[in-house]
Structure formats: C-alpha cells, structure tokens
Amino acid sequence: MGIAFMLAQKFPRGTKIFMIGEDGIRVALEEKGFEILSVENAPQAQAVVMGIDRSINFYKVAEATLLVRAGIPFYTTNTDRTFPTPRGEIPGSGSWLSVITSATGIEPIVAGKPFPYLMELSLERLGTTKEETLIVGDRLETDIAAGQSVGCPTALVLSGVSSLEEAKLWQPTPDLIAENLSELVS
C-alpha cells in the first residue's frame, strides 16, 4: 500500500508499471489505477516496482535491468535481504534487488522501511501520534530503524531475524525487547 500511495502522488492513473512482486503489490497498484505490464510488454513501462516475488525468474530480472539502465524510475517496497521461514531465512526482496542494483549501478527509491515515508503514512492512517504508536518488528535495520526514524517507541521481537546480541549493539537500543509477540503483549 505504501508504494502504491507514493507512486499515486508522482504518476497519473493509467501509468504503465513493470512490477516484480506478488499479489499484494499488484492489487495495491491496480487499486490506484496503474496498469501492470507483463514481461512481454515491459518495454512500455514508465516505472519499475520491485518487492518480494517467490516466482522471480531471469526474464523478470533482465527486463527490470534493461528498463532501469534506460532511465525508467526504479522503486522498491523494502530492502529486506532475507525473509524468515520456519526452516530459516531465505532471500528477501533486498537480495533480488541487489541483482538489479549491481547490474545497473542504480539504487531504487524505497517506499518502505527503514525510510520514514511508510511510517508517516501509517501514523496518518491510524490517526495516532508517534508517542502513542509502538513499532514492533523482528529486524533492527528495517523495522526498528523505521520506528526510530520518526520518533516512535520500538519493540524488537527475537522470534525472527535479529538477535539479542545484535540488539545490544544497536544504537539507540529498542525501547522493548521480547522473545516473541506473545511475551510482548502479556
């Protein structure tokens, strides 16, 4: 939703977007009136949007690379390098993003964490102040950094990516640290 909101402020309805991502991004972009292009129609793109895509393939990455190298604006939902699963961490959006950035030398505009844009949008939609809004996450460099970037209190849960040892070194330290969400809310 954050990237769709951001793009709606920059591009008119009907803008053609080449997207690497899943249904969540697709639906949010379509609800804002953007046209999502297939790999075959990618050369018509006016913007490139990237998020996590568990169906990513060489053709999607190649088209995105060609578009970005040609100067088409490049956006991403987040830079999370990994995605936690019950078996361990797997490549996240940021890992796939690094393929395009290394092939082009161009960094995307980030709509999501850790940049404050998404946090400010969330506060506006919630109708809460930063002081009364607790940002909870499992990753220091995105979730906690995002909350801290707008001055919200933060809580790190250790059931995901970041460890207690990493949290002790993080500055400023998260306001709360819990083993998991259950511990945090009890």
What is the pLDDT, as a whole number, of residue 99? Answer: 97
- Residues with Cβ within 8 Å of 164's Cβ and at least 6 positions away in sequence, in order, are 158, 177
**Mean pLDDT along residues 166-181:** 96
% of the chain beyond a pLDDT of 70: 100
Q: How confident is the model at residue 37 (pLDDT cuts 50, 70, 90)?
A: very high
Over the stretch 71-121, which tens digit does the pLDDT of each residue have?
999 999 988 899 888 899 999 999 999 999 999 999 999 998 888 878 888
What is the pLDDT, as a whole number, of residue 112? Answer: 82
Helix/strand/coil for 117: helix
**Mean pLDDT along residues 113-134:** 89
Rounded CA separation 74/8 (Å):
14
